[in-house]
């Protein structure tokens, strides 16, 4: 299953080889079980300013920067982008509601996958649209010794958030690798689009309420219905495949 997905990827992209040296992990919905809280915080913040917004929409917008999510809702319901002042006000509300949800739990099996990747000597990066300082600060206590500050790409590092390729292009540059030397673990349609647009082999773990078909339609090379648990169980199989073309 994995080999044929990788072979089709190489053929489509016309890359010389497939030899991942670094793994780019998305954060929310992959490493943290935080999407329920994000979705409910968005719904509450938008309700406060009388813009209809559902949890499903929050999941479909997952990966965008907060500013872009707010502009999207304003365009749809008010026919214009939000002003800077409005964006700040709404993002403040959203952050407030998110913090009320309490501490964010790690996604089951995430730490185990990270440890396996670390033991294999793979570089581990986080590529997130998040600007939630609490989550970023919590990384070290959640996953001690796994992450380095210079191996993070966050909302603060990019002008264009996901689904634009900039976050993953920036990650390739920070890691100093070619697209065929990296692999992405994502859970959201827009995150998958961003990684695919950056030309990187993308594994989608379905950890939320959306149908897996949406993740395939976004361009994921592999979709794991069983989420992080399935990724953990199949990690050796997935990470051992290297293709060197003559
Ligand atoms: Ca995500």
Q: State whether 17 and 122 are in the same domain.
A: yes
Per-residue pLDDT of the chain (246 residues; tens, 9 = 90+): 899 999 999 999 999 999 999 999 999 999 999 999 999 999 999 999 999 999 999 999 998 889 999 999 999 999 999 999 999 999 999 999 999 999 889 999 999 999 999 999 999 999 998 877 766 678 989 999 999 888 999 988 999 999 999 999 999 999 999 999 999 999 999 999 999 999 999 999 999 999 999 999 999 999 999 999 999 999 999 999 999 876
CATH number at residue 81: 1.10.150.240
Please give the C-alpha separations between residue 192 and each of 43, 138, 151, 185, 198, in angstroms, as whole numbers.
Answer: 23, 24, 20, 9, 10
Domain final position from 58, 76, 100: 100
How many structural domains are present in the chain?
2
Instruction: Note the pLDDT of residue 104.
Output: 87
Q: State whether 83 and 15 are in the same domain.
A: no
Q: State in Å: Cα 12 to ligand 1 middle.
A: 26
Q: State whether 134 and 66 are in the same domain.
A: no
pTM of the model: 0.94
Q: State in Å: Cα 77 to ligand 1 middle.
A: 25
Q: State whether 48 and 133 are in the same domain.
A: no
If you count them, how many residues does the chain have? 246
Domain final position from 100, 122, 150: 100
Are 150 and 174 spatial neighbours (Cβ–Cβ below 8 Å)?
yes
Instruction: Note the pLDDT of residue 246.
Output: 61
Q: State in Å: Cα 64 to ligand 1 middle.
A: 9
Instruction: Note the pLDDT of residue 94.
Output: 96
CATH number at residue 190: 3.40.50.1000
Give 152's strand partners. Answer: 126
Are 245 and 16 spatial neighbours (Cβ–Cβ below 8 Å)?
yes
Q: State whether 115 and 218 are in the same domain.
A: yes
Q: State whether 6 and 123 are in the same domain.
A: yes
Q: State in Å: Cα 246 to ligand 1 middle.
A: 36
Q: State whether 30 and 40 are in the same domain.
A: no
Q: State whether 129 and 169 are in the same domain.
A: yes
Q: State whether 172 and 225 are in the same domain.
A: yes
Tokens of 244: 């060197």
Q: State in Å: Cα 154 to ligand 1 middle.
A: 12
Q: State whether 55 and 118 are in the same domain.
A: no
Q: State in Å: Cα 205 to ligand 1 middle.
A: 10
Instruction: Note the pLDDT of residue 130.
Output: 83
Distance from C-alpha of 124 to C-alpha of 15, rounded to nearest angstrom? 22
Q: State in Å: Cα 84 to ligand 1 middle.
A: 25
| Nearest CA-CA partner of 29 in 136, 137, 105, 133 | 105
Q: State in Å: Cα 200 to ligand 1 middle.
A: 16
> Which domain does 63 fall in, by range?
35-100
Domain final position from 100, 125, 141: 100
Neighbours of ion ligand 1 (CB under 5 A): 26, 28-29, 187-188
Q: State whether 20 and 96 are in the same domain.
A: no
Tokens of 26: 């998305």
Q: State whether 54 and 121 are in the same domain.
A: no
- Residues with Cβ within 8 Å of 2's Cβ and at least 6 positions away in sequence, in order, are 222, 234, 237, 238, 241
């Amino acid at each position: 299953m994995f080999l044929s997905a990788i072979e089709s990827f190489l053929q489509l992209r016309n890359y010389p080889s497939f030899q991942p040296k670094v793994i780019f992990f998305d954060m929310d919905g992959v490493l943290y079980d935080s999407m329920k809280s994000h979705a409910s915080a968005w719904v509450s913040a938008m309700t406060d300013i009388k813009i209809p917004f559902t949890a499903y929409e929050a999941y479909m917008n997952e990966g965008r920067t907060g500013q872009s999510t707010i502009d999207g809702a304003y365009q749809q319901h008010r026919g214009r982008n939000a002003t800077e002042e409005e964006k700040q006000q709404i993002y403040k509300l959203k952050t407030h509601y998110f913090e009320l949800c309490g501490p964010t739990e790690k996604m089951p099996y995430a730490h185990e996958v990270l440890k396996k990747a670390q033991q294999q000597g793979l570089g581990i990066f986080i590529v997130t649209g998040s600007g939630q300082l609490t989550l970023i600060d919590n990384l070290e206590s959640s996953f001690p010794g796994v992450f380095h500050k210079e191996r993070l790409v966050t909302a603060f590092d990019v002008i264009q958030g996901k689904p634009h390729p900039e976050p993953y292009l920036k990650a390739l540059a920070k890691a100093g690798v070619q697209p065929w030397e990296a692999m992405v673990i994502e859970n959201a349609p827009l995150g998958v689009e961003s990684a695919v647009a950056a030309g990187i082999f993308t594994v989608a773990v379905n950890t939320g309420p959306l149908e897996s078909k949406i993740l395939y339609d976004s361009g994921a090379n592999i979709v794991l219905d069983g989420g992080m648990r399935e990724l953990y169980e199949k990690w050796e199989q997935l990470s051992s495949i290297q293709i060197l073309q003559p």
